[in-house]
C-alpha cells in the first residue's frame, strides 16, 4: 500500500509544478529576433516624435511665451513710461456714402505694433511665431476703438480674420480686418457741386497718454489704399494720415489718429437727371409766347404742365437729401427755374387781362367789335384747333366777351359771315395763321420772347461760374 500512496503523491506534485517550470523556462529563454528590425523600429519612433511635437507637448506655446508666468491684464511696462503702439492701415474699399444718414462705410486692415518683453522667447533661428485669434484672449493687446462709429465688426469668414505674430525679442504684430460705419459731417451748401471731407478717428478707450502712446508707424506712408477704389457718385481725391489729442474732463488727454479722405462728387448724373430736365421745362414754357393770345386752352395747359413737372423734379431731389435748414446749390437752380416757369404763366394772365381791357375800351369808344374778334376760319382754328370749312361750322362757334355785348356780337358775327367768301380746303393755312398771330400779337409777348431767354442765360452764366 505504501508504494501506491507514494506514487499518487509524486504524480500530484508533478502536475502542480510543471506549469511554473514552463513559465520560468519561457522567461529565461529569449525569443529569436533580428537586430536590424529593432533598430528600424527605434528610428521610426524618433522620427514621428520630431514631426509631430504638438502631440508630445500640447501646451508648448504657453511654456515658450511664459503666458502662465505673467499677468497680462496689465499693460507692458506698467508703472513706467507709456507703451508706444504704432498703427498702419491698408484700406481695402469704401463701400458706401450716404447723404441721408451722413455716414460712410469702410473696410480695411488695421495693424498694431508694440513690444511686450514678457512674450520674448529664445530662438536660434530668430524666427517669429504666428498665431490666430485664440491667443488674443490670453495676452495684452491695445484697446483701439473708432470715434463717432455707428457700426463695426470683425470679419469671421471662414474664421475670424485676426493674426498675431510674436518675435523672439518680444515685438508683436496684431492685424485685424474690420468694416466700420462712421459719421461724416457733410456740408451740402454746394450740392451737387460739392466736395466732402470725411475722417475716421482711432483712439485708445482705457489708456490715456500716460499709459499708451498711439502713433503712425511709418508716418504719412502708414496709410495705404487700393488703387482701384471707386464709388458711383464720388471720386476719391486724397487720402492722408494725421494725429492729435482728445481731452475728456473725467479721464484726461488721449492720443488720437485720423484717416482723412476727400470726396468730390460726379456731376454728370445730376446734369442728366436734374439740371437738363429743368432747362427743358423752362424753354418749353417760352413756347407759349409764340402761341396766339386768344388760344386760352393751349397756353394755360402748357403753363400748368411745366409748373407741375418742375414740382416733380423738386420733390425727387428733396426725397434723396437730408432735411437741412440751409439752401443748397441745386435748390437755387431749381427754384429759379420754377420761378421762370411760373412767370410765363403770370405773363399770359397779364396778356389776357390787358387784351380784355383793351377790347372793352374799344367797344365803348366805337360801338364795334374789334377786327381781332372777326370770325374767320383761321381765327376759329386758333380757339379750338379745328379747321372750319362750312358756314354751318362757323355759325356754331361761340365766343363770349361780356354779358352786355352778347346781342351786338351775334349781330356782327352774322353780318360778317354772310359777307365773307368761303375758304377752300386746298388753300394753305400756314400764311394765314402766321399773319393773324403777328397782327394780334401783344406787346408783352413780344418783349417776353427776348427778355426771358436773355435773363435765364445770364443766370446760368453766373450760377456755373460761382459753383463750378
pLDDT tens series, the chain, 468 aa: 455 666 656 666 666 555 554 444 444 444 444 455 566 666 666 665 555 444 444 445 555 666 776 778 889 988 889 999 999 999 999 999 998 899 999 999 999 999 999 888 888 888 888 998 888 888 899 999 999 999 999 999 889 999 999 999 999 999 999 999 999 999 999 999 999 999 999 999 999 999 999 999 998 889 998 877 888 889 998 899 999 999 999 999 999 999 999 999 999 999 999 999 999 999 999 999 998 888 889 999 999 999 999 999 999 888 888 888 899 999 999 999 999 999 999 999 999 898 888 888 888 877 655 554 444 444 444 444 444 444 444 444 443 434 444 544 545 445 445 445 444 444 455 555 455 544 556 788 999 999 999 999 999 999 999 998
Q: Residues 201, 206, 212, CA angle at the centre, nearest 5°?
A: 75
Do the two domains 83-265 and 270-360+453-465 of this chain adopt the same fold?
Answer: no
Q: Which of 433, 420, 346, 342 is nearest to 386 (CA)?
A: 433
Beta strands 195-204; 252-265: pairing state:
antiparallel
Q: Which of 199, 288, 301, 180 is nearest to 244 (CA)?
A: 199
Considering the domain 83-265 in this protein, what is its CATH number?
2.70.170.10
How do the domains of the chain map onto residue ranges? Answer: 83-265, 270-360+453-465
| CATH T-level topology, domain 270-360+453-465 | Methane Monooxygenase Hydroxylase; Chain G, domain 1 (1.20.58)
The per-residue pLDDT for 425 is 47
The per-residue pLDDT for 318 is 86
Phi (first) and psi of residue 180, to 5 degrees:
-125, 135
Q: Which of 112, 105, 116 is nearest to 139 (CA)?
A: 116
How many Å apart are CA 168 and CA 402, to the nearest integer? 106
Q: Residues 246, 252, 255, CA angle at the centre, nearest 5°?
A: 40
- Point out which residues pair with 224 in neighbouring strands: 90
How many helices, marked H, and strands, marked E, lie in the chain? 12, 12
- Point out which residues pair with 152 in neighbouring strands: 180
Whether the link from the prior residue into 217 is cis, omega within 30° of 0, is no
Q: Which of 214, 187, 211, 210 is nearest to 198 (CA)?
A: 187
Q: pLDDT tens across 226-277, in order? A: 877 888 889 998 899 999 999 999 999 999 999 999 999 999 999 999 999 9
Q: Which of 246, 242, 174 is nearest to 209 (CA)?
A: 246
The per-residue pLDDT for 385 is 45
- Point out which residues pair with 151 in neighbouring strands: 181
Residue-by-residue DSSP string for 344-365: HHHHHHHHHHHHHHHHHHHHHH
The per-residue pLDDT for 387 is 41
Contacts of 355 (CB under 8 A, 6+ apart): 293, 294, 442
Q: Which of 218, 217, 180, 220 is nearest to 201 (CA)?
A: 180
CA 440 to mean position of chain CA atoms: 56
Q: Where are the alpha helices (DSSP H) in 324-424?
A: 329-366, 377-384, 391-395, 406-419
The per-residue pLDDT for 58 is 45
Q: Residues 150, 151, 153, CA angle at the centre, nearest 5°?
A: 155
The 10 Å Cβ neighbour count of residue 229 is 15
Provide the terminal-to-terminal Cα distance of the chain, rounded to the nearest Å. Answer: 140
Alpha-carbon torsion (343, 349, 354, 359), positive or negative: positive
H or E element that contains 11 = helix 2-28
CB 307 within 8 A of CB 284: no
CB 106 within 8 A of CB 261: no
The per-residue pLDDT for 241 is 94
The per-residue pLDDT for 363 is 80
How many Å apart are CA 23 and CA 43, to the nearest integer? 32
Amino acid at each position: 500500500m505504501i508504494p501506491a500512496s507514494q506514487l499518487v503523491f509524486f504524480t500530484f506534485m508533478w502536475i502542480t509544478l510543471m506549469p511554473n517550470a514552463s513559465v520560468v523556462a519561457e522567461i529565461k529563454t529569449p525569443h529569436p529576433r533580428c537586430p536590424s528590425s529593432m533598430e528600424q523600429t527605434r528610428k521610426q519612433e524618433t522620427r514621428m516624435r520630431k514631426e509631430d511635437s504638438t502631440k508630445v507637448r500640447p501646451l508648448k506655446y504657453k511654456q515658450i511665451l511664459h503666458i502662465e508666468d505673467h499677468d497680462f491684464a496689465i499693460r507692458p511696462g506698467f508703472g513706467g513710461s507709456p507703451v508706444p503702439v504704432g498703427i498702419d492701415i491698408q484700406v481695402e474699399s469704401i463701400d458706401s456714402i450716404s447723404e441721408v444718414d451722413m455716414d460712410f462705410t469702410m473696410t480695411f486692415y488695421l495693424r498694431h505694433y508694440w513690444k511686450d518683453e514678457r512674450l520674448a522667447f529664445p530662438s536660434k533661428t530668430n524666427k517669429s511665431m504666428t498665431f490666430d485669434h485664440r491667443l488674443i484672449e490670453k495676452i495684452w493687446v491695445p484697446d483701439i476703438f473708432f470715434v463717432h462709429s455707428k457700426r463695426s465688426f470683425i470679419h469671421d469668414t471662414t474664421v475670424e480674420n485676426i493674426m498675431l505674430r510674436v518675435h523672439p525679442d518680444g515685438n508683436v504684430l496684431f492685424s485685424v480686418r474690420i468694416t466700420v460705419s462712421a459719421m461724416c459731417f457733410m456740408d451740402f451748401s454746394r450740392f451737387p457741386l460739392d466736395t466732402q471731407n470725411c475722417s475716421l478717428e482711432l483712439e485708445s478707450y482705457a489708456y490715456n497718454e500716460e499709459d499708451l502712446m498711439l502713433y503712425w508707424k511709418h508716418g504719412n506712408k502708414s496709410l495705404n489704399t487700393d488703387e482701384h477704389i471707386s464709388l458711383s457718385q464720388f471720386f476719391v481725391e486724397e487720402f492722408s494720415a494725421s494725429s492729435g489729442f482728445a481731452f475728456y474732463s473725467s479721464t484726461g488727454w488721449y492720443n488720437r489718429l485720423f484717416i482723412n479722405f476727400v470726396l468730390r462728387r460726379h456731376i454728370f448724373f445730376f446734369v442728366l437727371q436734374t439740371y437738363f430736365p429743368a432747362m427743358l421745362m423752362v424753354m418749353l414754357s417760352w413756347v407759349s409766347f409764340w402761341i396766339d393770345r386768344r388760344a386760352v386752352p393751349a397756353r394755360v395747359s402748357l403753363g400748368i404742365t411745366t409748373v407741375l413737372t418742375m414740382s416733380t423734379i423738386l420733390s425727387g431731389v428733396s426725397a434723396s437729401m437730408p432735411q437741412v435748414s440751409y439752401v443748397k446749390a441745386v435748390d437755387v437752380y431749381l427754384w429759379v427755374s420754377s420761378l421762370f416757369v411760373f412767370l410765363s404763366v403770370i405773363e399770359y394772365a397779364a396778356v389776357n387781362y390787358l387784351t380784355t381791357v383793351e377790347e372793352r375800351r374799344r367797344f365803348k369808344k366805337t360801338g364795334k367789335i374789334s377786327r381781332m374778334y372777326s370770325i374767320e376760319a383761321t381765327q376759329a382754328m386758333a380757339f379750338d384747333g379745328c379747321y372750319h370749312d362750312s358756314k354751318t361750322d362757323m355759325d356754331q362757334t361761340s365766343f363770349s366777351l361780356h354779358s352786355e355785348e352778347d346781342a351786338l356780337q351775334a349781330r356782327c358775327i352774322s353780318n360778317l359771315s354772310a359777307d365773307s367768301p368761303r375758304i377752300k380746303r386746298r388753300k394753305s393755312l400756314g400764311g394765314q395763321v402766321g399773319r393773324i398771330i403777328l397782327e394780334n400779337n401783344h406787346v408783352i409777348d413780344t418783349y417776353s420772347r427776348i427778355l426771358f431767354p436773355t435773363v435765364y442765360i445770364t443766370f446760368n452764366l453766373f450760377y456755373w461760374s460761382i459753383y463750378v
